[in-house]
Amino acid sequence: MGTVIGLTLPVGSPAEGQPGLDELTAATAVVEHLFRELDEKFSLYRPDSEAARLARGELTLRCASEEMRARYAEAHEWRLRTEGAFTPERPDGALDLSGIIKGHAIREAGTSLLALGRHDWCLNAGGDVLVSGSPRPGSTEPWKAGIVDPADRRTLVAGYALGSRSRHTAIATSGSAERGEHIWRVGKSAEFVQVTVAAEDIVTADVLATAIVAGGTTMLNRATDQWDVAALAIRTDGSILATPAFHAS
């Protein structure tokens, strides 16, 4: 997926016991396998992937795999819910599910970690983060996410507490600071250079961050009205819009 995947597993949980090397290796292997498998199917950078064949018109969605159709259906539902600010099609009409696949991969990896009996962890995929439990197992200490300044990647502009007593366990950032312009915007001008959204689940956070970058203030207002999220948006002039939850973090 063109990014680095990081998995943090604190040790010494009173509830789970001290995880051994085999357990840590198994957890890492599950996450690695899942991301690799999804990348092989959905990456547009792999000419032999199913997604690349769909984009070239060599395969129709009707004949695609069940998983591909399921992710398209999910992305299409988000297009309806965001009134087109999030879309699974490029401007040329080619199918591109990149906007939802990373969030889906993180979600599936989190489910797998819980199935392995790991309840305290932090999964970071290119700055999109999903957490469970606490960095200090058995405590109420939350995980802490930092939001970088798009004008200076060495500086943080804000922090946000995830997990523990917080209802938000996921945070995602979208924008042009690191990868350049790659989001299809609604309208001609770019209003936000970076948007961060915290939510109860990673797909909601990831999709809405992208939708707000694409749809500007109109979509920001819609997202905060319709979803239980916290948002921080940085305009092209460097000014910041933030919901109260970010101010309190």
Indicate the Cα dihedral angle 24, 28, 31, 36, nearest 10°.
Answer: -160
Look at residues 81, 91, 96, 92 and name the one whose alpha carbon lies nearest to residue 188: 91
Cα-based angle 28, 32, 38 (whole degrees, multiple of 5): 150
Q: Which residues contact 173 (CB under 8 A, 6 or more apart)?
A: 127, 128, 147, 148, 194, 195, 196, 197, 209
What letter would DSSP give residue 62? G
Q: Mind listing the domains of the chain with CATH numbers?
A: 5-248 (3.10.520.10)
For the chain, how long is the longest CA-to-CA vector? 55
pLDDT of residue 23: 77
Indicate the Cα dihedral angle 176, 226, 108, 7, nearest 10°.
Answer: 50
pLDDT of residue 14: 46
pLDDT of residue 212: 96
pLDDT of residue 165: 82
Bridge partners, 171 (sequence order): 129, 198
- Contact in structure between 108 and 124 (CB atoms under 8 Å): no
- Contact in structure between 168 and 162 (CB atoms under 8 Å): yes
User: Which residues of the chain fall below pLDDT 50?
Assistant: 13-16, 179-182
pTM equals: 0.89
pLDDT, one tens digit per residue, over 20-48 is 667 788 889 999 999 999 999 999 889 99
Q: Which residues contact 223 (CB under 8 A, 6 or more apart)?
A: 82, 197, 208, 211, 212, 229, 231
- Contact in structure between 87 and 183 (CB atoms under 8 Å): no
pLDDT of residue 1: 66
